[in-house]
Structures are given as structure tokens and as C-alpha cells.
Amino acid sequence: MSNFSFIRPQLAKIKAYTPHPGGKVNLNLDRLDTNESPYDLSQELKQKLASIYQNQIETNRYPDGSHYHLKQAISTYVNESGNSNITLDNISVGNGSDELIRSLLIATCLNNSGSILVADPTFSMYAILAETLGINVVKIGRSETDFSIDLDSANQAINNQNNQIKVIFVVHPNSPTGNALTPQEKDWLRSISEEILVVIDEAYFEFSQDTLVGELKEHPNWIILRTFSKAFRLASLRVGYAIAHPQIISALEKIRLPYNLPSFTQTAALLTLTERESILKTIPETIKEREKVYSNLSKISGIKICPSAGNFVFLQLKNNEEMAEKLKQEGTLVRHTCNGLRITIGTPEENDRTIKRIIRFTEKS
Ligand SMILES: *Cc1c(COP(=O)(O)O)cnc(C)c1O
């Protein structure tokens, strides 16, 4: 019998990331735990997509491994909304931004060649992926009042030569806490040595409308990540993209699998970009709903809730786990994480139910 000693011992300590084990998500629940859009693509768009699939995609042929048309559409979209002038050389497309995060880690820190710095609470995937690659993660904290990064600790961690920080990951706005980068935090990023890669994850850009893409030219050590999983409603199809200096992009292109994006996925992403005017029309509603959820929940004593620039809110109560469990029993799925609850903004009806349920449970206890 093999004892499977060929598997790296490091992996024994790691649990596989399975958000819904057994594929069991009760479709009757309000699914507000993963920050997806509450709206599927319209039947009309799905039909367009199906027709392209039927008539133009040859399933026996490999996809376009250069992502040429998709990159073109991405560059147009980014430039029109970001005061930038990026070209195809500035873009790499991944199977979700998760793939890009992994490729970045491989390109920078593999083989004990450096550590990453994250400010907790933040997106868990950076540390999870780093750990599977045996890459050291240095964690610093955030302010308990507004969740801004503890910049003194960050600078100390960077200046400590033992840490060998090579990459800093920030989310703008942060998940799970929702805060956008403050002017101080932006200045800090501008001051980081060009020897360190700064990853700015703008997964929620369409909700915050605040981007640093216009400053990429002055900062060749910055990279911006975006995704089609949130505002563009394509979480099921896995598309993310990175924007950076051509030299960083070329490293990512070497590392990624040659056919990382199926033809169908490329077609869908391209279609949502072409139709972005109609797809992004729901953003103002989401923002309005977010403010509704925020103002209703912030009135409740015992709940700490912070202003959010994303399509979700983060709240902290005395007993977060119990609240998550009660909400689930009543039909609302939320994410219990980082000593709080992250709740996605859903449809107006879903949000009303969330508010009602939380009010009921806080009144009872
Ligand atoms: C949702 C999210 C992503 C998107 O990941 P995909 O792999 O593109 O689905 C990336 N970063 C953050 C911070 C997110 O919240």
C-alpha cells in the first residue's frame, strides 16, 4: 500500500476550498453569500449566445489561445472608464481572477524567492493559493473602526528584511469589509519601492467607480485585477483580467495554460462587453439597495456596519455565527467570515427579507 509520500507534506495541512460541499445549494434560499449579481443574463442575450455557440463555435477546434478579440474589447472598456491608454500588451486574461492570482504568485515568490503581504480581514484566496504553493504569507491588521490598513505595521513588515516581501495584495474596495482605498492608503501604494509588486484587485470596480488604472503608467510595479464574475454576471463562466506593464503581462502569459479560456467563455465575455450598457444598467439599483440595507441595519443597536463601496455589506454582531445560522434557517444565505457577516446586495425583495429577518432576530435576543 502506498502511503502517498510523493505528495508534498505541506498539502496535508491544507483543506480544499469547497464553498458548497456536495454541490448542495438550496435554490430556494436567498443566495447572498458569494457577491454574485442577483440577475442572470437575459433570455435574449442567452439566445444570442446560444446561437453563436450553435453556428460559429467549432467544438472540435481549440479556442483562440491569444484571446485577441476579448483583449481588444477589454482595452476599449477599460480606457473608456478609466482615463487610461492601455493596449493588448497590457492585458492578460485568466480563468477567473483566481487563476491570475496564482500565476502572479508563481511568477514572483515560488521556490522561497519571497513572501506576500496581506492586510486581514481581506480576500482569503491570496493566502490560500500562496499556501498551496509553499509561499510565505505575512499578515498585518486593519483599523477596527474603518478597516483601513495599519500602514505602520505594513511598513515595518516591508522593512523587516527577514520577511522578503515581494508582493502586496490590496482589494479596492476591500472584501469582506467594503471600504475603498483611502487617500492615505493610495499615497502609501504610490510610495512603495518599485522592487515590490503591488496587486490592486478591483473586482468591485463597477460598483465603486474608483480605479487606479490611470496611474499604471507611472507605476510599472502595479497590476490591476478585474473580473467578469460580479457586475458582468458571468460567475459561472470564469473570466478575469489583469492590466499591467507589458513585462509583467509577459510573465503571466508564460505561466498560464495555453488554452485557459474555453471558446464559449470567451464568446460570452465578449458579448457582455458589447452589451455592457444594458448589463450594467442594474448597478445604480444595487447601489441604491446597498444604501437601503446599510441605513436600515445601522439603526439597530448591537450591530456594527461599515459604509461599503461594493455590492455587499459587512456587519459585526455579538454572535455572528448564530445569526448566520438563524438567517439560513429562515432562508437567507450569508457569508460568516472574519468575525462578521458579509451579505451580498440582492434583488430589492431579497434585501427586504434580509433586513426584516435581521431586525426580528436582534429584537428577540
Ligand atoms: C469575487 C472576487 C474575485 C473574483 O474572482 P474570480 O476568480 O474572477 O471569480 C476576485 N477578487 C476579489 C476580491 C473578489 O471578491
Q: By C-alpha distance, which of 117, 232, 213, 121 is closest to 174?
A: 121
Q: What are phi and psi of 186, to 5 degrees?
A: -65, -45
Does residue 44 form part of some domain? no
| Shared domain check, 302 and 186 | no
Indicate the number of domains in the chain: 2
Residue 21: which domain range? 10-39+281-364
Cell numbers at 95, concatenated: 480563468
The residue out of 274, 309, 324 marking a domain boundary is 274
* Tens-binned pLDDT, residue by residue, of the chain (365 aa): 888 999 999 898 888 887 776 777 788 899 999 999 999 999 999 999 999 999 999 999 999 999 999 999 999 999 998 889 999 999 999 999 999 999 999 999 999 999 999 999 999 999 999 999 999 999 999 999 999 999 999 999 999 999 999 999 999 999 999 999 999 999 999 999 999 999 999 999 999 999 999 999 999 999 999 999 999 999 999 999 999 999 999 999 999 999 999 999 999 999 999 999 999 999 999 999 999 999 999 999 999 999 999 999 999 999 999 999 999 999 999 999 999 999 999 999 999 999 999 999 998 76
Query: pTM here?
Result: 0.97
The reply to whether ligand 1 has any atom less than 6 angstroms from the CB of 201 is: yes
Residue 94 CB less than 6 A away from ligand 1: no
Atom of ligand 1 at shortest distance to CA of 34? 1
Judgement on whether residues 90 and 221 belong to the same structural domain of the protein: yes
Please, how many CA atoms are within 13 Å of residue 324, restricted to the half-sphere of its CB? 19
Nearest Cα residue to atom 14 of ligand 1: 203
- Which domain CATH number covers 329? 3.90.1150.10
183 and 121 within one domain:
yes
The answer to whether 57 and 263 are in contact (CB under 8 A) is yes
Distance (angstroms) between ligand 1 centre and the Cα of 102 equals: 12
Residue where a domain terminates, one of 251, 274, 297: 274
Nearest ligand 1 atom to the CA of 98 is 7
**In a shared domain, residues 194 and 317:** no
For residue 311 and ligand 1, the question of a CB distance below 6 A is answered with: no
In a domain, 342, yes or no: yes
Asked, for residue 91, whether it belongs to a domain, the answer is yes
Q: Are residues 153 and 296 in the same domain?
A: no
Let me know whether 202 and 347 are in one domain.
no
Burial letters for 249-283: b for 16+ Cβ neighbours within 10 Å, e otherwise?
bebbbebbeeebbbbbbbbbbbbbbebbeebeebe
Counting from 1 in the atom list of ligand 1, the atom nearest the Cα of 174 is: 13
Domain match, 258 and 345 both:
no
Same domain, 63 and 155: yes
Question: Which of 320, 198, 308, 244 has its CA nearest to residue 87?
Answer: 244
How does DSSP classify residue 149?
B
Non-local (6+) Cβ contacts of 86 within 8 A are: 75, 78, 79, 213, 216, 243
Are 217 and 161 within one domain?
yes
User: Does residue 324 share a domain with residue 251?
Assistant: no
Residue from 123, 199, 345 whose mutation best tests the ligand 1 pocket (most atoms within 8 A of CB)? 123
Do the domain assignments include residue 213? yes
Could you tell me the distance, in angstroms and rounded to a whole number, from the CA of residue 107 to the centre of ligand 1?
19
Ligand 1 nearest-atom number relative to CA 240: 8
**Is the dihedral angle over the CA atoms 234, 239, 244, 246 positive or is it negative?**
negative
Claim to verify: residue 285 and residue 258 sit in the same structural domain: no
Give the residue from 274, 297, 317 where a domain finishes.
274
Same domain, 244 and 293: no
